[in-house]
Structures are given as structure tokens and as C-alpha cells.
Chains A and B, each alone.
Chain A
Amino acid sequence: MAVMTLIESIRETLREEMRRDEAIIVLGEDVGKKGGVFLATDGLFDEFGGDRVLDTPLTESMIIGASIGAAVNGLRPVPEIQFADFIMPAFNQIVSEAARMRYRSNGAFTCPITIRAPYGGGVHGALYHSQSVEAFFAHVPGLKVVIPSTPHDARGLLRSSIRDDDPVLFFEHKKMYRSVRGEVPDGDYTVPLGEAKVVHEGSGVTVVGYGLMVQYALEAAELLEADGASVEVVDVRTLRPLDGETILSSVRKTGKCVVVYEDNRFGGYGAEIAAMIAEEAFDDLDGPVMRVTGPDVPGVPYNHALEEWFMPSPDRIADAVRRLVEY
């Protein structure tokens, strides 16, 4: 059992998977000699060579489009989009092509690619290095969307994603890359896609989140428990397919729920969770489903005061829980 940062966990998983299966290639901007701008692929170029760890031109649509073709012809590409903000030129390839390849060919073609991309704010990245883009993709049948919140889960989920026969978007919160450490077991364990997890048990209010927001929810739970409140935290882990049962059984127990996401509030991914709870657990609710989210401005602003205003925080989550407790 080793203690690793999130980025180390991802890097070691990529290395082990590439050793296990020579069909796996990594491609993207600066992923080769430089090892990626966050060093997620550091050392892979030296071990596996430039044919399997491929520096591409600045062409996101090509990174995904060529990955789709390579996947069709026997490879298992793990493309990296340098920042989730820059995935938009590849949107058509992901949504019109990768997501639909299986469906439109009546099951004849598959598209096993795992698209990795760092997302999220809180690192002075401003409008174009901070975005949360999961809602765009979680909306699309045919895509799977994964967001880990611990080094342990990152490893198990990345293994599952790479070995999955469908296209997976694997979003990594860049603020967590080096700030979150955790125990990572040795051995070839996986975390199955489509399983949420209760990461902190409690009885009064359920807080549902993913990625960095899970870490914040856990901090909020500590703050609140000092005040005597009991909070249960559910880590969604796989946004699609969604494990609704784990969320619903927690909400049925507590009767109250706060959904947290960093993305803009309007139409964000957590809105789907709120809708599901309203549809499926209405009779068990003792208060409105609440949301703690980023505000509805077109991006995360740069100046630290503005960025702090944007980002959901443990305090904001705790405030929402307190209001719900009192409801």
C-alpha cells in the first residue's frame, strides 16, 4: 500500500495499463517528452516510445477523431485533452461520432477510448483553464462520464475506464492533482463504473457531489459535526451511468439532500440528481432538495477575490446544510 497524490495515482495507472496491454496508446498535446503540462504522463514516453505516447499537433478534434479510428482498428487510445476547457473543438467527434458509433451501426462497431481531461477551478486558471464540462457529456447516451475524488478511486476507475468497451470521459480536478493524497493499494483492483459510494455516514442530511466537491463536502461535514449535525456524504464517482440507488437510499434515510457541483447552476449535472430525487423519493423528503453550485456567469474569473466568489466552498456547503437542518 503506497500513499500517492492524485496525479501520481493516474500516472502509475497509465503506466501499468500500458505495460499490461500494448494496444493502449496515449496521445495529446505535450504528453510525450514533456510528460503533460501537469506531468500526468511523465516518464511514459521514455518507457513506451513516441509511437505509443504521441505528441500531437494543437488539434483537439484530430486527437479524438484519430482516436476513434485507431480504436476501430484494434487500438485502445487514451487521449488527453490538455484542459477540459479546450475539449470544445472535439465536441462533434465525441458527441456525433464516438457516442453514436455503437448505436448507429446496430452494435457492429465499438469505440473503446478513454478521454482524460483536467477540469475545475480554484487554481487561478480564469475563464479558459477552470471550466467544468461534465454536464455537456453526461447528457449524451453512449458516453460514460467518470470523475474520481481520491487517488484510490482514480486508479480503480481509470483501470475500469480503459478496459471498458465504450467511450469514457475521465475528468480529473486539477486542484486535487497534488493537494489530495491517499492510500492506493497494490495489485490490480478496479472500481466498477456505475457505482456511487457513501464516503461518510450520517443521518441528518445527505450531501451528494463528485470530484473536488466531495473533498469540500467532507470538510463541511466535519465543521457541522462540531455543531452536532450528522451529515452523510455520497460520492457519485460515475456520472453516467448513474448509480441512483445509492443516492436514493441515502436520501430515504436522511430525508434531506444538498447537491453540490462546481459548474454553473443552471442545467448543471446536479440538477438531474435533484430531479431524480424529486421523482423517486418525494415521499421520503422532509425538505426541498437544495443545490450549492457555481454562479451563472460564463466562466471562472481570474482575480483571487472574484475566483473565491465563484467557487463553492466547505463553508457554503455547511451553510446550506444548516438551513436544511432548520427547515
Chain B
Amino acid sequence: MATETTSALGSDLGLTPDDLIEMYTLMAITRAVDERMWILNRAGKIPFVISGQGHEGAQVAIAYGLRKGHDWMVPYYRSVASLITFGMSPREIMLAQFARGVDPSSGGRQMPGHYGIADRNILSVSSPVATQVLHATGIAYAAKLRKTGQVAITYLGEGSSNQGDFHEALNFAGIHKLPVIFVVENNGYAISVPMSLQSAVEDIAVRGAGYGMPGVICDGVDVLACYRAGRDAIERARSGEGPTLIEAKVTRMTAHSSDDQQTKYRSADELESEKGRDPLPRFRDQLREAGILDEAAEARILEESRKVVEDSTDWAEAQVDPDPATAQLHVYADAPPARMDDPLWRSERFMGDGGPLRDESGS
């Protein structure tokens, strides 16, 4: 009986035991990287952290069926696990934390959490929320028009799903049956504002009906259910059937960001009980029970996670800061900026290199 159960786990979804181990490994590595970010912040090495502890199960599972380097990912600031699943390396994630010059996301220009890598079809993240949902829709429109066979997937929180851009994007995607997947990671809070004050309906997924697309709910601690939701949505998009709205019910295990104190608005009881909604031990137990994850494998994954974290942290920290002389590059395609339109040109004229104004001020 036990053996039958073992061989069955995930097989109805076409997942092999190796797939399941890989998914668990991606979750474990992401968690380890994420925890290190907070330690680095508390140690005063990086000024800001925003991350996705509690979201990893849904993120890895939903993205697992995408085609890396072909499909498009339009992430948000909690998408660490999605990005690692889609091919961004932990070193690249860490470069963004340290904002080093070789950081592929922004060369140190953006706050940590604002990822993006052009050569891997990962669009640059900004801070205004839900703007990216329209970008994914436009990417999908181009994919459809150019017949590239690409699927675009985008992510946002349930708080962002109240923005007008969310409505405008789903409306347009529904009209044109675009190959796009909208993933709302519902962790119950928009920073401090609970779901009850964000939405008159309990499930964001029901909004899909208003845009002519399926709205699918999956439980973020049920990794295989999340994989099924992602896989079905990818198939639907790839075959021209149109967009899907997925709502993953997840938990936010950390404060909103390193600048937030969530005990001010979440009770100790709530935070304690939410620990039971951590997808990592739940998936680990599931794999153990199915006989897929034995002690040796677990130890190996733990060791690999530890190594990855050490390597990515040490390597990224050792990279140099961006050169201030590069800060005016990439405003426009043509560089340097036109002479008269360049503010530095004027200040140079009047102040020179430590010119008269600076001398007079005594500095």
C-alpha cells in the first residue's frame, strides 16, 4: 500500500520524483537565501529587504512548467522563488541586495527586490504596484501577434489587485484571449491592511468571471495543487485558449519589508498559527511520507542550500559598487545626453572641478 502511494505522488500531474525533489530544492534554496537577506539587513550590511517567505511553494510550483528563456516572467518584489525557478541565480539575487555595479537587475540603481534580467525574459520590476500586469498583457499581445508561442506570467499581491491597472489588464487580456497568466499571491495583507478592508469578496479569483477567464484558487501550502493550477494555465495560454487568473492563498511569514513591524497589526496568536501555513515543512513531510525524500537527500539539500547561500553572499558582497560616473548613463539610447539638455554640463560651467563656488564655501 505504502509503495503504491509512493509511486503515485505527482504522477497524475506528470511529475517524476526527480521533479518533486527539484521543486523542494528550489524552495529550500530560496528560503535560505531569503533568510540570509534579513540577517544581512539586521547586521547593517544592506539597508532594505522585501521578500517572500511563505510564498515559495506557490511560486516554485506555478512557475515550474514554464519554458525558461522562451516564456516571459513579469515579477513583483516578492518573486524570489519564481525567479530562481525561472533561471535567475542566487548570486544574481544577492547582487540586487548589495546593489553592486554588476547587478544585472539594475546595476545598483534600484532598491533590493526590483529584479529583472533582459536576456532571460524577466522584465524589470518597479515600485508602483500593478503596473506590471499591463506590461505582461502587452508582452502577451506581442507574442500572439508575432506567433512566438510564448506565455507571459505576471505576479502581484492581493492588495495590488485593487488597482485600476489590474482591471484594465485582465479586461484587455480577456477580450483578446491573450497567452498570459495572472497570479495573485494572496497573503491577506496589503502591508498592514487586512483583506476585509481591501475587498468586499473573499476570493480575488471570482473577479476572473468579470473578464471572461477562469479564476482558480490554490492553497499555497499544497504545492502539487499549485503546480496543477500553473500547468493548466500554461497549457491554456499555450494552446490559444486565453488567460487565467490564479489566486494562491499564501502566508506572509515576515513583515512587509525590513521597514515594517507587523506585530503592530497582527496578533501573536495569528502569527503563531500562520507558522502552520509554511509550505516548506508541509511539502517536506509530504515527500517524506511518499518515500521520495529520505534523510540522505534531505541532508544533501540542506548542505547545498547552505553552500549556495554562502557562495552567493560572499561573492556578491565582494563585487564593487557602481561608479558614480555611470549614474547619468542610460537615460536615453544616445549617450551622453545632448549638451544643452545635460544639467551636469551647466553645473560644470559654473562650478568647474571644485571651482569657485566650492572654494568659497570652504569645502
| A interface residue numbers (CB < 8 A to B) | 25, 51-52, 56-57, 59, 61-62, 64-75, 77, 89, 92-93, 96-97, 100-110, 141-142, 144, 164-166, 194, 240-245, 248, 276, 279
Chain B CB within 10 Å, residue with most, of A70, A93, A142:
A70
Chain B CB within 10 Å, residue with most, of A61, A64, A104, A279:
A104
With A59-B172, A61-B165, A97-B135 already in contact, the answer to whether A106 and B341 are too (CB < 8 A) is no
**B186: interface (CB < 8 Å):** no
Q: Contact between A66 and B172 (Cβ–Cβ < 8 Å)?
A: yes
Q: Which residues of B contact A108 (CB under 8 A)?
A: 104, 116-119, 124
Separation of A89 and B143 alpha carbons in the complex (Å):
26
Of the residues B119, B165, B332, contact of A102 by C-beta under 8 Å: B332
Q: Which residues of B contact A92 (CB under 8 A)?
A: 128, 131, 165
**B192: interface (CB < 8 Å):** no
Q: Contact between A106 and B172 (Cβ–Cβ < 8 Å)?
A: no
Q: Which residues of B contact A245 (CB under 8 A)?
A: 339-340
Q: Which residues of A contact B140 (CB under 8 A)?
A: 69
Chain A CB within 10 Å, residue with most, of B72, B117, B171, B332:
B332
Separation of A51 and B116 alpha carbons in the complex (Å):
29
Of the residues B105, B131, B331, B340, contact of A141 by C-beta under 8 Å: B331
Separation of A69 and B333 alpha carbons in the complex (Å):
18
Minimum C-beta distance from A233 to chain B (A): 20
Nearest A residue to B172 via CB reads A62
Within 8 A of A (CB), among B214-228: none
Within 8 A of A (CB), among B297-354: 329-333, 337-341, 346
Q: Contact between A59 and B331 (Cβ–Cβ < 8 Å)?
A: no
| B interface residue numbers (CB < 8 A to A) | 72, 74, 103-107, 109-110, 114, 116-119, 123-124, 126-128, 131, 133-143, 145-146, 148, 150, 152, 164-165, 168-169, 171-172, 175, 329-333, 337-341, 346
Minimum C-beta distance from A103 to chain B (A): 5
Q: Contact between B175 and A109 (Cβ–Cβ < 8 Å)?
A: no
With A69-B134, A75-B145 already in contact, the answer to whether A105 and B126 are too (CB < 8 A) is no
Q: Which residues of A contact B119 (CB under 8 A)?
A: 108
Separation of A67 and B105 alpha carbons in the complex (Å):
22
Nearest B residue to A248 via CB reads B340
Q: Contact between B117 and A62 (Cβ–Cβ < 8 Å)?
A: no
A65-B165, A92-B165 known; 10 new pairs, CB 8 Å cut-off, are A66-B138, A66-B169, A73-B148, A102-B332, A103-B109, A105-B106, A108-B104, A109-B123, A241-B337, A248-B340
With A108-B104, A108-B124 already in contact, the answer to whether A65 and B168 are too (CB < 8 A) is yes
Of the residues A74, A141, A279, contact of B142 by C-beta under 8 Å: A74
Q: Contact between A66 and B141 (Cβ–Cβ < 8 Å)?
A: yes
Of the residues B131, B137, B150, contact of A97 by C-beta under 8 Å: B131
Nearest A residue to B117 via CB reads A108
Separation of A276 and B349 alpha carbons in the complex (Å):
13
